[in-house]
């Protein structure tokens, strides 16, 4: 008799294909769930593979619109970034996938959900905390934390050998030993030969972006229009092409960055569970949209609002996303603070993509007047009197003078 229905987050890749076969061996009935979150995937081939392995049903849910509008765009508004370099491409996708998986599990009467996350990674935390928030009574089957499973499959070679025995075709081979995770925002590469942080990734590993050295010799200029911090228009080809629909805008930004080699990083990051991890990421469109957003804020956002947002909202929200705390009280609270900070972030940024680089060419806003060209000019006195600065410096120097006097009394020589 079946032990019951399990909804498996199925990618069609090595790990989840083996897990699907293993769950069936263990006596479970499996509903294979796949989120269409923008990955370049052959969904028909994944369905054929899942059903051939033995899944009762294969369900694809298109979550691209939710991913862009509810998660990626707010992340752009918050300038979300982890450890000053990672744009959180994987982290952003997890709450969207988890929500869709729970809905499928409930629809098909599954008592449990399962995933292929390793026992050393961040994703197990991200998925499971989301599962428990959305459906507190759900059972989670995590094979990579089950001794029966991980003792049988001690490494990727064991998985590859098992898949060969079962006739399961997989993209990962012993010749290309690394794992990938892809969505509309990015693709990640980790494990295998990349675990040595001093190993240079082979050129053929990168999938989304053109190698910067092979990118076009002609720069490509474009403009991004923002309203309340949200990208609402992407202007290409000298104004001949204008994209406004959110998903299409994101896809077009991806295509622009990809053909110009923009958006690659190779980093060592600190995982939530306390382990350092080496990851290579391609995040093309999100790199362009976030960078242009950051630039526009310099023109349109109040200094103190920006400082508070940068110090609290950006850092805290990025950590919440990375650690898988999206569906939490603090996650809900911090998201409520994003929109108010973006009321004045309206305008256009002109930029240039060229051989892996992104250069800002200019920015403008018809509605926000925080920047006054006359006040800022070194050639005009109108609007700001230089004499006013004397009082400003005098007030600021009060405590500085006391610091200097105290140092002198103690015989301390202030120096570089």
Cα–Cα separations (whole angstroms), residue 128 to 8, 60, 98, 215: 13, 20, 8, 40
Q: Is 302 a catalytic residue?
A: no
Pairing type for strands 112-114 and 139-141 reads parallel
Evaluate whether 99 touches 93 at the Cβ level (below 8 Å). Answer: no
Q: Which of 123, 264, 278, 318 is catalytic?
A: 123
Regarding beta strands 29-36 and 5-9, do their DSSP bridges make them parallel or antiparallel, or are they unpaired? Answer: parallel
Q: Are the C-beta atoms of residues 268 and 197 closer than 8 Å to each other? A: yes
> Which residue out of 130, 179, 223, 341 is catalytically annotated?
179
Active site residue 94: yes
**257, 224 contact by CB (below 8 A):** no
CA neighbor of 185 nearest in space, from 106, 73, 320, 110: 73
User: Active site includes 15?
Assistant: yes
Question: If DSSP codes are grouped into helix, strand and coil, which group holds residue 213?
Answer: helix
Which residues, 6 or more positions from 232, have their beta carbon under 8 angstroms from its beta carbon? 225, 226, 244, 249
Rounded Cα gap, residues 355 and 210, in angstroms: 9
User: Helix 14-25 crosses helix 156-166 at what angle (to 10 degrees)?
Assistant: 60
What gap in Å lies between CA 224 and CA 232, rounded to an integer?
A: 8
Q: How far apart are CA 268 and CA 250, in angstroms?
A: 27
Please state, in angstroms and as integers, the Cα–Cα distance from residue 8 to each residue in 24, 40, 50, 159, 371, following that order.
Answer: 11, 20, 11, 17, 53
Three-state secondary structure of 284-340: HHHHHHHHHHHHHHHHHCCHHHHHHHHHHHHHHHHHHHHCCCCCCHHHHHHHCCCHH
Which residue among 64, 94, 264, 335 is the active-site one?
A: 94
- Do the beta carbons of residue 63 and residue 37 sit within 8 Å? yes
Active site residues: 15, 94, 123, 179
């Amino acid at each position: 008799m079946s032990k019951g229905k399990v909804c498996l987050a199925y990618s069609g890749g090595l790990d989840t294909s083996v897990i699907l076969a293993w769950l069936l061996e263990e006596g479970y009935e499996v509903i294979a769930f796949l989120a269409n979150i923008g990955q370049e995937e052959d969904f028909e081939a994944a369905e054929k593979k899942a059903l051939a392995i033995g899944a009762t049903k294969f369900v694809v849910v298109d979550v691209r619109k939710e991913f862009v509008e509810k998660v990626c765009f707010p992340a752009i508004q918050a300038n979300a970034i982890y450890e000053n370099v990672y744009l959180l491409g994987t982290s952003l996708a997890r709450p969207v996938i988890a929500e869709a998986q729970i809905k499928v599990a409930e629809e098909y009467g599954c008592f449990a959900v399962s995933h292929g996350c390793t026992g050393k990674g961040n994703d197990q935390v991200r998925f499971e905390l989301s599962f428990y928030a959305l459906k507190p009574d759900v059972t989670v089957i995590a094979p990579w934390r089950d001794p029966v499973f991980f003792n049988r499959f001690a490494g990727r070679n064991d998985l590859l050998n098992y898949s060969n025995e079962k006739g399961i075709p997989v993209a990962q081979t012993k010749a290309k030993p690394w794992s990938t995770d892809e969505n509309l925002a990015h693709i990640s590469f980790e494990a295998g030969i990349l675990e040595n942080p001093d190993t240079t990734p082979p050129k053929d590993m990168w999938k989304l972006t053109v190698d910067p050295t092979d990118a076009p010799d002609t720069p490509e200029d474009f403009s991004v229009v923002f309203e309340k911090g949200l990208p609402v228009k992407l202007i290409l080809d000298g104004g001949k092409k204008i994209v406004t629909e959110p998903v299409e805008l994101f896809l077009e930004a991806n295509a622009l960055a990809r053909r110009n080699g923009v958006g690659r990083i190779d980093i060592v990051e600190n995982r939530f569970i306390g382990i350092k991890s080496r990851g290579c990421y391609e995040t093309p469109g999100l790199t362009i949209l976030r960078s242009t957003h950051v630039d526009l804020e310099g023109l349109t956002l109040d200094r103190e609002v920006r400082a508070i947002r940068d110090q609290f909202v950006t850092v805290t929200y990025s950590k919440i996303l990375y650690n898988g705390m999206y569906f939490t009280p603090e996650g809900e609270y911090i998201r409520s603070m994003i929109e108010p900070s973006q009321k004045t972030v309206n305008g256009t940024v002109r930029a240039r993509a060229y051989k892996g680089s992104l250069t800002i060419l200019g920015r403008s806003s018809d509605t926000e007047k925080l920047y006054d060209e006359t006040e800022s000019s070194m050639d005009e006195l109108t609007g700001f009197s230089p004499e006013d600065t004397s009082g400003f410096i005098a007030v600021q120097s009060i405590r500085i003078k006391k610091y200097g006097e105290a140092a002198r009394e103690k015989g301390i020589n202030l120096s570089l």
